[in-house]
């Protein structure tokens, strides 16, 4: 009988510890940072975030890297790619090689090259002229943009779309809502 009571007490204690660990308040960086999001050496070059869509229903960082190299670029032009379930999992954030090196982007050409030199390029897989991004992609995008905004002190007013910057493209598509993204980031 005494052994049973000890076993029940020990089980209750373990359950309470597990419950407390799962529900404890954690600092924001633990909630939002994922492997590879924080570079080994953080650059002070980043002043804004530029959102893109692939304009294709399939793809991922590896495929886009191949396409960009065929154009004569040195590697994937974006810093991050967020999958839609085609080449990678829906909502999966892929960290591009440029990000690890804190290297300028090749994603938003302007006369002064400001957005390539100082803009973090994020591409969501999909064509958002035909449909909006799905929920998992938007949740991952909001987590990533929230993390980048906080870590690199980028205000919501410096979250842009490719087409909004250049005026030469509809990227990231007519059905992408940048204001919704900003609200989601603010809510995090």
84 vs 133: CA distance, rounded Å: 8
Global confidence as pTM: 0.82
101 vs 40: CA distance, rounded Å: 8
Q: What is the mean pLDDT of the chain?
A: 87
Delineate the domains of the chain, giving CATH numbers in brackets: 2-187 (3.40.80.10)
What confidence tier does 1 reach under pLDDT thresholds 50, 70, 90?
low
Task: Specify the pLDDT at position 49.
Answer: 98
Percentage of the chain beyond pLDDT 70 is 82
CB-based contact 84:134 (threshold 8 Å): yes
User: Contacts by 1-4 with C-beta closer than 8 Å and gap 24+?
Assistant: none
The predicted model gives 27-41 an average pLDDT of 68
Location of structure tokens 């059905």: 175
In sequence order, what DSSP letters do the residues of 28-69 get, joined into one string? HHHHH--TTSS-SS--S---EEEEEE-SSSS--HHHHHHHHH
Task: Specify the pLDDT at position 188.
Answer: 72
What confidence tier does 31 reach under pLDDT thresholds 50, 70, 90?
very low
28 vs 26: CA distance, rounded Å: 6
18 vs 166: CA distance, rounded Å: 51
């Amino acid at each position: 009988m005494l052994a049973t009571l000890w076993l029940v007490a020990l089980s209750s204690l373990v359950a309470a510890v597990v419950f407390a660990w799962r529900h404890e308040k954690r600092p924001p960086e633990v909630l939002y940072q994922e492997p590879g999001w924080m570079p080994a050496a953080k650059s002070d070059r980043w002043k804004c975030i530029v959102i893109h869509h692939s304009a294709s229903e399939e793809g991922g960082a590896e495929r886009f890297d191949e396409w960009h190299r065929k154009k004569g670029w040195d590697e994937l032009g974006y810093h991050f790619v967020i999958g839609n379930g085609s080449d990678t999992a829906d909502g999966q954030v892929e960290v591009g090689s440029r990000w690890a090196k804190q290297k300028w982007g090749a994603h938003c050409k302007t006369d002064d090259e400001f957005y390539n030199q100082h803009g973090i390029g994020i591409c969501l897989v999909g064509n958002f002229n035909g449909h909006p991004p799905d929920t998992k992609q938007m949740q991952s995008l909001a987590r990533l943009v929230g993390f980048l905004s906080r870590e690199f002190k980028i205000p919501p007013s410096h979250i842009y779309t490719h087409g909004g910057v250049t005026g030469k493209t509809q990227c990231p598509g007519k059905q992408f809502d940048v204001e919704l993204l900003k609200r989601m980031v603010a809510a995090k």
